Structure 1
Amino acid sequence: MTTTEFIPVSQKTYEEISDLKGPNRTFDEIIANLVEQAKKQQLENDVEAILARNRFVEI
């Protein structure tokens, strides 16, 4: 399903996303990739925080 939304961004941000896009990719693909990367980074940060606490329950 496709939804058309308007997301205001600065001219600089638009240009940077456009640079990532290139001729053969869509803005949707670029944004989806950025979201996926952000989710992976958040998971990595969460795991590192858990390991740093060094408190585990024996199972």
Structure 2
Amino acid sequence: MSTVTNLQQVKWQRHADEQALKSLDATIADAEKALVILLHRRRELVNRLGINKPDHDPEAA
């Protein structure tokens, strides 16, 4: 294999890796947004159920 072919292959692989990284970053960003939404919904349910309030601590009320 010639040096030119090796350089082209390295450039192609770098480009492919950069595209894969972009795709993973976008997937992670989407997952983080979904997590924020889920945590918000969970917090609303915990508040509605009163789970976050102590049952037998009059000073905490």
| Greater Rg by CA | 2
Q: Which has the higher contact order (CA 8 A, sep 6+)?
A: 1
